[in-house]
Amino acid sequence: MFDLTNKTAVITGAASGIGKAVTLLFAKQGATVHVLDLNKESAAAVAGEIKGEEGIAFAHACNVAEQKEILDVFNNIGWIDILVNCAGISHIGTAENTTEEDLDRIYSVNVKGIYNCLHAVIPGMKKNGGGVILNMCSIAAHVGLPDRFAYSMSKGAVQGMTISVAKDYLHDGIRCNSVSPARVHTPFVDDFLAKNYPGKEKEMFDKLAKTQPIGRMARPEEIAHLVLYLCSGEAAFITGCDYPIDGGFINLNN
């Protein structure tokens, strides 16, 4: 089950966190993976790790916010069976204290970045008779999170783009879904705590972890397992859906 042999997968934001977990799992399942990330050295390190396990991987340094860079990379790759849009950034702030520059920065990566990848991959998928697209959304698209105005805006847009693509390309054999994690323990979380709560990292980590009713943050690998299912042949009947993976956050946080 969940075999990706002879499939070519492109993962953005693939050098760390959820993107890295997805990339490593896809390679383990037999896919040829293309590791896209802003950081050239980190992308190369992930590709090297896969090659060390006798997998097939290629590293590409690019900025998802720059359409020409994405078009060049995708055209160079050629045939693509699976696209996973994991690249994204976060921001803390309300509508009152979020600056125009903050909003533009979040939009350029979290919204325009996904659009750029969709714009680049869909023509080839149509020509090849289909494909699978998975967008990384968030519980922020479903519930009100304090101090996450710009981030929530961007993830609401991701959910809208997912449904739109699923509808527009239903008869081209292209499936498009999204997943909405709650908090996931990634290097971003550790860096955020070190920067904003020096000396209180453990206390704040425990506080954030307990906002999930299940009592902890998710592991990147747990998100990757759901992504694998949705991108595999076993999920061939699923399109236009968002899947919360949230430790009970949306429905049990009363």
Query: Would you please indicate which residues are annotated as catalytic (active-site) residues?
Result: 151
Do 169 and 176 touch, CB atoms closer than 8 A? yes
* Pair of tokens at residue 56: 């097939």
Rounded-to-integer distance, Cα 184 and Cα 212, Å? 10
Contacts of 210 (CB under 8 A, 6+ apart): none
Contacts of 58 (CB under 8 A, 6+ apart): 32, 33, 34, 35, 47, 77
CA distance to 41, 68, 207, per residue, from 62 (Å): 12, 10, 35
Three-point CA angle 106, 118, 94, nearest 5°: 20
Q: Which of 68, 178, 181 is nearest to 119 (CA)?
A: 68
Contacts of 32 (CB under 8 A, 6+ apart): 7, 8, 9, 56, 57, 58
Three-point CA angle 230, 117, 58, nearest 5°: 80
